[in-house]
Homo-oligomer: A and B are copies of this chain.
């Protein structure tokens, strides 16, 4: 059996590889997990011994089929619990993550599937991230950023790239949620900020950082 800590490492490796990192180094993992690189090296050895990852100084760390299965299962549970917390318990989307971080480690054979059924087989979590199904298949992922949309075009929010509480609260304040329509009115060359119109009413200007933190389609 694998520990909560091992699960968190596997999930972090999964996350980094999803991010498109070519090489997952101890330093990158240490940064990602806010942990010391020396500790990471220890755990890399442990996970390698357990055949959950392959580690190679040249290629970095890679999940094995087995490791990937575990990581995907944790991600599935994490996102399902987030849906539960938001839809059933009425939590807001800037708090569900930290609680799901604990809930994802609850172990019981049928738990994910039962939760999935109870929630009506949701495809995306509250932040727009895709939920792997029971077979480990993942719905397609958004990859266009708001910053890439041309002036005059209207797009629709599909997911948040940055899931920090501060950003989510700011979105809340602007009444932006998954599905919200945003029209790009102007791009300011000076600092790459954007003038946008949110749904019908509100016009505002958002920063480059902001425009690079929202996925749209």
Count identical subunits in the complex: 2
- Evaluate contact between B90 and A114: CB separation under 8 angstroms: yes
Distance between A97 CB and nearest chain B CB, rounded to angstroms: 11
Contact of A114 among B91, B106, B115, B118 (CB under 8 A): B91
User: Could you tell me how many residues of chain A have their Cβ less than 8 Å away from some Cβ of chain B?
Assistant: 18
- Kindly state whether residue A180 has any CB partner on chain B within 8 Å: no
- Kindly state whether residue A111 has any CB partner on chain B within 8 Å: yes
Q: Is the interface of A mostly helix, strand, loop or mixed?
A: loop
Distance between A89 CB and nearest chain B CB, rounded to angstroms: 4
Q: Which residues of B contact A118 (CB under 8 A)?
A: 88-89
- Kindly state whether residue A99 has any CB partner on chain B within 8 Å: yes
Interface residues of A (CB under 8 A from B): 88-91, 95, 98-99, 102-103, 105-108, 110-111, 114-115, 118
